[in-house]
Each structure stands twice: as C-alpha cells, then as structure tokens.
C-alpha cells in the first residue's frame, strides 16, 4: 500500500499536470502541422527535443523555412513567459525544459548566427543567463555581433529604399 501524499505534494503535482496541458495546447496551436507529434509527446522535454530537431532540419534546407523558424523561435520566447515557481524545492520540469530549450538554441552556430533576425537585443540581454548556459564569452560576443550586423543591414536596406 502506498503512503498517503501530503496536501502540499498533491498541490505541486496538480500544478505540474496543469502546466503539462498548457504546453501541449500551446504547441498544438502554434504548430498545427505537428499536431500528432505534440499529442504523442510524453512530456514537455520530449516535445522541445522534437521541435529543436525540426529547427535544425529547417536550417539544412535551402532556403530555410522562415515561417516555421519565426514561429519556433517566438514559441521559445513564449515559453519564457510562463509563471515560475519561486521555491527551488518546487521547481517544475516545464521550467527546466524551457530553459534548456533556450540554451540549446544558441549552441548551434547556424541558429546562433540567425537569432538576431527574430529577437530584439533586449530579449537576448534579458535572457542572457539562459542563452549563455553552454556558451563561452566569445560565442556570446559572436551572437551579439551577428545580431548587430543583421540589424545594420536592415537599417541600410530601409535607407536605400527611402532614397529610391
């Protein structure tokens, strides 16, 4: 016979179950083409691993699927906006998986070089601790330099349009 769970444990487990449903619903709404995969995912980590693989595959195709990439990168941003548990003893798996997803995005040099197309500087800076988890200081600088170069090119393109 299993021991009785405390009300505090039951409350934590209930919040976890609710968060599990939140990520699945958001995944199904954000990626209708992956309904079956989102439904079949065992947990949020399973889903984010699948999504990261799709991001890497998208960069292999020529040209990359920008529509998908934009949704995937902004999905990562949305994941960072979920409410957090303040007590480390109650840290939930969804939070851990979301932080891991952010950190992993920047480990791929191709993805890292392209993040400036999708996120504003303040987003990168606000999530530096997550983005830099597996990065060296030089790789963080490379990410920022890529961001700056992409933004400068956009500015120049707009200026050229205005002149013509």
CA distance 54 to 25: 19
pTM, full prediction: 0.68
CA distance 135 to 137: 7
CA distance 51 to 53: 5
CA distance 80 to 87: 17
- Cβ atoms of 54 and 34 within 8 Å: the answer is yes
- As to burial, measured by CB atoms within 10 angstroms (0-12 exposed, 13-18 middle, 19+ buried), residue 142 is middle
Query: What is the CB neighbour count within 10 angstroms for residue 96?
Result: 12
Q: Which residue has the tokens 């889903």?
A: 47
pLDDT tens digits, one per residue of 120-145: 778 778 778 877 778 888 888 888 88
User: What is the average pLDDT across 71-75?
Assistant: 84
pLDDT tens digits, one per residue of 88-103: 344 456 666 777 777 7
């Amino acid at each position: 016979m299993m021991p009785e769970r405390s009300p505090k444990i039951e409350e934590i487990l209930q919040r976890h179950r609710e968060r599990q449903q939140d990520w699945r619903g958001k995944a199904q709404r954000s990626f209708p083409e992956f309904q079956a995969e989102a439904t079949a995912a065992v947990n949020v980590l399973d889903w984010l691993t699948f999504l990261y693989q799709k991001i890497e595959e998208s960069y292999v195709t020529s040209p990359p699927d920008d529509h998908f990439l934009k949704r995937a990168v902004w999905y990562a941003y949305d994941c960072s906006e979920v409410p957090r548990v303040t007590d480390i003893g109650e840290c939930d798996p969804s939070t851990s998986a979301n932080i891991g997803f952010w950190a992993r995005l920047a480990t791929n040099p191709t993805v890292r070089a392209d993040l400036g197309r999708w996120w504003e500087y303040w987003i990168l800076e606000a999530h530096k601790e997550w983005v830099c988890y597996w990065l060296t200081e030089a790789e963080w600088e490379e990410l920022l330099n890529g961001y700056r170069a992409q933004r400068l090119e956009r500015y120049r393109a707009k200026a050229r349009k205005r002149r013509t």
